[in-house]
Structure 1
Amino acid sequence: MTTTPSLRSRPDLCPGVFRPWSADDGALVRLRLVGGRLAPESLAALSDVASEYGDGALHLTRRANVQLRGLPTRGGDLVPEVVQAIEATGLLPSRTHELVRNLMVSPQTGLSGGRADLRPVAAELDDVLCANPRLAGLPGRFLFVLDDGRGDLVGRSTDLGLVALDATTAQLRVGSIGWGPVIGLAAAARAMVDLALRFLDERGDGPEAPWHVDELVQPLTDRLPREAATTVTCPALPFGPVAGGEHVAAPKGVVDHALAALLVGHARELVVTPWRGVLVPSEEAT
């Protein structure tokens, strides 16, 4: 096992339903969305939870996740009825792995543009991640970033990820500046999970253990040259009509009950974006 420098002095405290963060207005919890995707009925149900138990709003994060604030606790834990209400939304598929389901994906993938539809890769990665008990030990800040080749997420810091080269292949990202091999997309999810397991082997235990791949003394794999096709880049998705739908702004990252009702009434699926908005796909795109 590789020893690590003393970059940390404690485990990460990233919040979740079973590890709420105590704030002045009550407990804060974060719900992880795979690639930002959620069903309208789940958004409606979660908005009802926020209105009944919290501050009445949903708070979007720059990792395309959703937070609830102002929730009641007992002994440092959410009260059971709040946990039950959150689970009923369908947005907490795993109690054991809720903190490690950190998967960012190009929001428009499969809707418009990009070189590949990464939704199947993301879904498989989430399934394989949650099926392995060891991977529940990943730090809560460990992040997978999947760019479909359009370049919207290629500049994001990551632990593991990929950039699509075409409809069937991608180059793996290993840390924020490292590049791995070119592989088939059909094998990508398991390749990333194998690297995540290797990260757990290398990081060690205890409060000083690294949170991120970049903090390891030795790289997880041989660093390979960056493929020219991964140098793509594009600006943040603008608000308003865009290819594949409409990107709706959440003012200051907040989706209140009225905005949630509006979003639910105009979509069959929704995509929370890393720019604190919600992409409402057009009927043609879905």
Structure 2
Amino acid sequence: MPQSPSAASRDEPAIRDRGDACPGALRLHAADDGFLARVRIPGGMLDGAAARLLADAADRLGDGHVDLTSRGNVQLRGLGESCGGELAELLAGAGLLPAPTHERVRNIVSSPLAGLDRLGLPDVSPWVAELDALLCASGAAAGLSGRFLFALDDGRGDVTSLAADVNLVPEGDVRARLWAGDPREAVLVSSQDAPRAALTAAEYFLDAVREAGTRAWRVAELPPEHALSGARLAERLADAGVGAVVAAPDLSARSAPSVRSVRTPEPGIVPGPDGTASLSVLAPLGRLATAQWRRLAGLTGRVRLTPWRGIVVPGLPGHAAAPALAGLAEAGLVTAPDSPWRSVTACTGKPGCAKALADVRADARAVMERARGPLAVHWSGCERRCGHPRGSAWVDLVATPAGYDLHVEGREPRRGVPQHELAPALADARHADHVRHNLPDSVQK
């Protein structure tokens, strides 16, 4: 039986009998539309030169598109079987392969608007480069799976909602809260030690995996008797020369942040604290043509990719923001919160995935103008639900041989909805009253 959205959003303990098969930039994945490469972009932070080289790779070696993932990484599709060496050379020249042995473990998400808006929250972006360098220099860290995730949250609760394995959040100007798995098992460390402490937490996980005799890929997969504890983490940090104390319980952190508390980037202009502005846009279904990608990269020479398949362009003069945003809208990007594509995601589907039972992207395009609503929706080509959202409620459409199964938390699933009934059924589900009252005000409008 398919999982409900709430169940599908959680990692569950699992017994692994092999290493993970996550694709990377060097480990290509064979798909029905050619080979796929996943390029890790720590914190989603790219400079313009590296972004343009990714576009060159997509044009020369792939299908001319750049796909965004739910971890703020990039995928290139339609690659030839023999292009691995040329792709690696291009990526190395762009600075995107600093440590080939570690390229799949550089999974770091950070608050995309950190330091860019007027909320006055600490800027955690410097932690990204430091943690990435520490990861790449750690021999032990090469043993992490390609699914292990670090989240560096500036306090707004956006990336700590993503069920990361290791989480860091500033507490004031000089301390940070760190936890691995269960937020009730947090410790406090100094801000300057935070990246080193995060790496130590990951190494603690690897030791727990060995002690348990499992092949767990994620902290949530550890057996209960080997769960990571705040007290033991503090001891390990002390042994590594990092001062740490077990944190007092934070009642707000007993579970993932509520939907209302999460501040994810809205499409539009983000005024900055210094008179500059950032642009926040979304790529429909997470896919950009290289012309769109180059346009974004050329605005200021910097982009930040978000775990919600969006792009933030920082550093525009305030007066230039509105014309630039209008140009991105003309280029086909989502630039306003009322777009029908505001919170719509999909897996690859047919023809790119052999397991898919439908061309979910085409089906989504066919109905979304008639199926607007405040609740997010994810289209899945099969019951694996690849790329599904995390940290919030959503409408779950799953392709089956008999049509689409439609799930929304708290309702009985609708089975085998045919194509001609999808638009009204989906619109009704996206306005579900029992979940809508928990959505952020900005999404309800």
Same fold (TM over 0.5): yes
Equivalent-residue separation in structure 1 for 2:250 and 2:213 (angstroms): 36
- Equivalent residue for 1:221? 229
Q: 1:83, CA displacement in angstroms? A: 1.9
Q: 1:67, CA displacement in angstroms? A: 0.6
Does the aligned pair in 2 maintain the 1:106–1:147 contact within 8 Å? yes
Equivalent-residue separation in structure 2 for 1:207 and 1:257 (angstroms): 45
| Alignment of 1:242 onto 2:270 | yes
In structure 2, the CA distance between the partners of 1:268 and 1:167, relative to structure 1 (3 Å rule), is: farther
- Equivalent residue for 1:11? 19
- Equivalent residue for 2:338? none
Q: In the alignment, residue 242 of structure 1 is paired with which amino acid?
A: V
Does the aligned pair in 1 maintain the 2:55–2:290 contact within 8 Å? yes
Equivalent-residue separation in structure 2 for 1:282 and 1:226 (angstroms): 38
Equivalent-residue separation in structure 1 for 2:43 and 2:85 (angstroms): 28
Does the aligned pair in 1 maintain the 2:184–2:250 contact within 8 Å? no
Equivalent-residue separation in structure 2 for 1:105 and 1:155 (angstroms): 11
In structure 2, the CA distance between the partners of 1:11 and 1:149, relative to structure 1 (3 Å rule), is: same
In structure 2, the CA distance between the partners of 1:67 and 1:114, relative to structure 1 (3 Å rule), is: farther
| Alignment of 1:270 onto 2:303 | yes
Equivalent residue runs for 1:100-115 within 5 Å: 100-112=105-117, 113=119, 115=121
Equivalent-residue separation in structure 2 for 1:155 and 1:248 (angstroms): 20
Q: 1:206, CA displacement in angstroms? A: 11
In structure 2, the CA distance between the partners of 1:149 and 1:117, relative to structure 1 (3 Å rule), is: same
Unaligned 5+ segments in structure 2 are 1-12, 232-246, 273-277, 319-445
- Equivalent residue for 1:136? 142
Equivalent residue runs for 1:74-85 within 5 Å: 74=82, 78-85=83-90
Does the aligned pair in 1 maintain the 2:131–2:195 contact within 8 Å? yes
| 2:24 counterpart SS class | coil
| 1:97 counterpart SS class | helix
Structure with more contact order per residue of length (Cα contacts < 8 Å, sep ≥ 6): 1
| Alignment of 1:37 onto 2:65 | no
Unaligned 5+ segments in structure 1 are none
In structure 2, the CA distance between the partners of 1:79 and 1:151, relative to structure 1 (3 Å rule), is: closer
Structure 1's consecutive aligned runs of 4 or more residues displaced over 6 angstroms after TM superposition are none
Q: In the alignment, residue 259 of structure 1 is paired with which amino acid?
A: Q
CA RMSD of aligned residues (A): 2.3
Count how many residue pairs are aligned between Structure 1 and Structure 2. Answer: 278
1:256 aligned residue (289, 295, 317): 289
1:170 aligned residue (162, 172, 176): 176
- Equivalent residue for 1:92? 97
| Alignment of 1:119 onto 2:125 | yes
| Alignment of 1:198 onto 2:204 | yes
| 1:8 counterpart SS class | coil
Task: Pick the structure with more helix per residue.
Answer: 2
